[in-house]
Amino acid sequence: MIPNKSHIQILIITIFIVLFSFVKTDPVRASTTDTLDIEAYIVVIDIKKFNDETQELNVDFVVNLLWKNIPPAHPKGADTLDANLNWISNLQIMNESDLTRKATEVEKEPDGRISLRSRYVGTVKENLVFKDFPFDRQAFRINIIFPTNKPFRLYLQSKKNKNIGPLTIANWTIEKTGLVPYELSVNRPLHGFSYVAQVMRKKYYYLLKFFLPIAIIVLMSLTVFWVDPDKIDAQLTVSSTAVLTLIAFLFSLSFTLPKISYLTKMDLFLYSSLVLVFLALTESIYTSNLATKNRHKTAKKADKISRYVFSVTYLIILVLIYFI
């Protein structure tokens, strides 16, 4: 049977209906048309102080965000500037301790983008490990998220990060800064970015203030090996003086060192020094006891061996603590 014209029209209409039924709007692609491209960088006005005990960093910084406003989907729809500004300006500093937003400025750039600058002053909480104290390198962080489910792409402009003038933070040297992605998952994943400052503690203060005096006390205690074992009073005076001096020094240090629950390199140095001084005292008592029993050769031989053993051991301890 030859199909008539009406049959052909029905067939064509059916084909079009079937084809259009398979053509659906891609939700991801459609959502990307509403995705904001946000450029972010941070200007640090000052990093003033870091408290080793509370791990709080006193900072003064400005968060800079730039984005191109997306026009409304419908001509009669409301402008999206206010809506975008609401959720973008609602950024949160996740590790804030006592932080205040001092000022917020919104401007339209010559290229048509919207810029948002928010200044924050106060303290942020860090979570650092001090096992290498005082030879440690750390990373100070400011974690920022956007609490929204709106789609956006974040472009981190680390090269635009800068410091305004010299930073007043003491005991630390800032080696480099940068921005890295940051994600927080609670009920749903929240995205943002982190400002990271790689810093190194200024160790020369601790070397001169703590390590050098303690090393001198230890070396003073080792001089007992050059004292004649017959001179019991001189040996005991040198050894006991070194022990008491070191204990008093350690007591004064307890007020300046970080109060943490694990041992640091400084602790290992202090306790190893204390052990060596105590062993030197023990050795002097032993050789003096030998001298009283007229075993002078054995006492002098023990002193001679101790000179090298104690000196080399202490040198190895210093090298291991500093380089490992």
Give the Cα separation of 214 and 321 in Å (integer): 14
For the chain, the structural domain boundaries read 29-201, 205-323
The domain at 205-323 falls in which architecture? Answer: Up-down Bundle (1.20)
User: What percent of the chain has a predicted confidence (pLDDT) above 90?
Assistant: 49
Tokens linked to 64: 């800079």
User: What percent of the chain has a predicted confidence (pLDDT) above 70?
Assistant: 85
Which 3 state secondary structure label does DSSP give 188? coil
The pLDDT value recorded for residue 27 is 32
Instruction: Say yes or no: domain 29-201 is CATH 1.10.10.1100.
Output: no
pLDDT at 31 over 60: no
For residue 194, the one-letter residue type is S
Q: What is the mean pLDDT of residues 205-225?
A: 92
pLDDT band with cut points at 50, 70 and 90 for residue 313: very high
308, burial (CB in 10 Å: exposed 0-12, middle 13-18, buried 19+)? exposed
- As a whole number, the mean pLDDT across the chain is 84
In DSSP terms, 156 is beta-bridged to 40
